[in-house]
Amino acid sequence: MSSTQKILIKGITQEGGKFRPSDWAERLCGAVASYGPGRRIRFHPRVRLASIEGVKCVVVDAVLRDENEMLFEFLMDFARDNQLQIEQGDSGERL
Phi and psi, residue 28, nearest 5°: -65, -45
Q: Give the tens place of pLDDT for each residue, 9-20.
A: 999 999 999 999
pTM summary value:
0.85
CB-based contact 4:92 (threshold 8 Å): yes
Q: Give the tens place of pLDDT for each residue, 26-37.
A: 999 999 999 889
Report whether pLDDT(1) > 80: no
Q: Give the tens place of pLDDT for each residue, 35-92.
A: 889 989 899 999 999 999 999 999 999 999 999 999 999 999 999 999 999 999 765 4
Pairing relation of β-strands 5-13 and 55-61?
A: antiparallel
Strand pairing partners for 91?
none
What is the CATH number that goes with domain 5-90? 3.30.70.2340
Note the pLDDT of residue 92. Answer: 45
Domain ranges of the chain: 5-90
Detail the DSSP E strand segments found in 14-81. 34-35, 41-42, 47-52, 55-61
